[in-house]
Amino acid sequence: MNQEQLLKILEDIKNGLINPAEALHLLKDFTVKDLGFAQIDTHRELRTGYPEVVFGQGKTPAQVRDIIKYMNTRNNNILATRVSEEVYHEVRKECPEAIYHPEARAITVKKVEIKVPDTFIAIIAAGTSDIPVAEEAAVTAEIFGNRVERVIDVGVAGIHRLYDKMKLIRQARVNVVVAGMEGALPSIVGGLVDKPVIAVPTSVGYGANFGGLSALLGMLTSCASGVSVVNIDNGFGAGFLASMINKL
């Protein structure tokens, strides 16, 4: 429930359109819905402006299905991350309008239209192998009402490819830069733009990449100003933060 929905209930009580018992029914699950195996934070959008997101990894297909089934009764867009196609097929049994994004490994359900700002978010992937994390960021930003422009395979091994895209990148309100290996690309972008850069290290790389640790440390020690860093492979976190910045 968001602020507009709560305000409407209060105004309807004031104007005699609903009685207190009816309002109580509408507010019954106002803060938490207890499913036994999960407690859905139905109050989150009112507090933060964004509804709860389902992290699918570690949950059974049936658990994800039942969480989304309940969330689908409320007037919020739904996002579930780190889910397989098997989980998606289970979800569709209760929510046929759900859409699966295979590269992002995400499920979305669009319940409401969100006003999209005139500004946009650029999602920049250093390599094709970084696309899954970049797509998780892009799908996250899009379901929360943002225009996203994708720039793919412009890593430092062929840096001239990045320069061809700089006009678009400089027009973005915020840039999400996704890279594995040594994680150098966010520093380069950070030195070329006057907008925030959200760096996303990925686990893509050979042995000494240490599952993304080399990219993470490289980004954390960036000399470029205006570069912030999220966790390894955390496309969701980057897309969420980019959405918040784009709507300031």
> pLDDT by residue (tens digit) across 150-204?
999 999 999 999 999 999 999 999 999 999 999 999 999 999 999 999 999 999 9
Q: What is the pLDDT of residue 1?
A: 57
pTM for the full predicted model? 0.87
Q: What is the mean pLDDT of residues 47-66?
A: 92
Q: What is the pLDDT of residue 43?
A: 75
CA distances from 209 to 12, 93, 200, 216 (A): 58, 41, 14, 9
Residue 211 CB burial class (10 angstroms; 0-12, 13-18, ≥19): middle
Q: What is the distance between the alpha carbons of residues 218 and 47, in angstroms, rounded to a whole number?
A: 34
Q: How confident is the model at residue 28 (pLDDT cuts 50, 70, 90)?
A: low
Q: What is the distance between the alpha carbons of residues 172 and 163, in angstroms, rounded to a whole number?
A: 15
Position with higher pLDDT, 8 vs 142: 142
Q: Provide the 3-class DSSP secondary structure of residue 176.
A: strand
Q: What is the pLDDT of residues 79-134, one digit of tens each?
A: 999 999 999 999 999 999 999 999 999 999 998 889 999 999 999 999 999 999 99
Q: How remote is the C-alpha of 129 from its chain's centroid?
A: 19
Residue 64, pLDDT > 60, answer yes
Q: What is the pLDDT of residue 210?
A: 94
Q: What is the pLDDT of residue 2?
A: 64
